[in-house]
Amino acid sequence: MHNEFTAIIEKEGEWYFAYCPEVPGANGQGKTVEECRGSLTEAIALILQDRREDGLRGLPEDAIRDTVTLE
């Protein structure tokens, strides 16, 4: 599945800091823009995986689980 997210990157001193407005809590940092973007990408992936796992905990046994694809 392909998703795109917004990365807001700002420089403060020698460091770059980033956040993603669509995924609260997703932040990244690095000495370069590329490093910062990579850090943010990892944070987004970890948060989405955690939310996915959390959302599936405690589902009734007879619940139907299906997939929805966004394009």
Partnered with residue 24 across adjacent β-strands are: none
Of the two residues 4 and 8, the one the predictor is more confident about is 8
Topology adopted by domain 8-52? Double Stranded RNA Binding Domain (3.30.160)
Tell me, what's the pLDDT at 70? 75
Tell me, what's the pLDDT at 69? 81
Residue 66 DSSP code:
-
CA 11 to chain centre: 20
Partnered with residue 11 across adjacent β-strands are: 16
Domain ranges of the chain: 8-52
Tell me, what's the pLDDT at 1? 45
Model's pTM, two decimal places? 0.83
Which token pair is 69?
A: 């694809």
Distance CA 5, CA 66 (A): 24
11-70 tens-digit pLDDT: 999 999 999 999 999 999 999 999 999 999 999 999 999 999 999 998 998 999 898 887
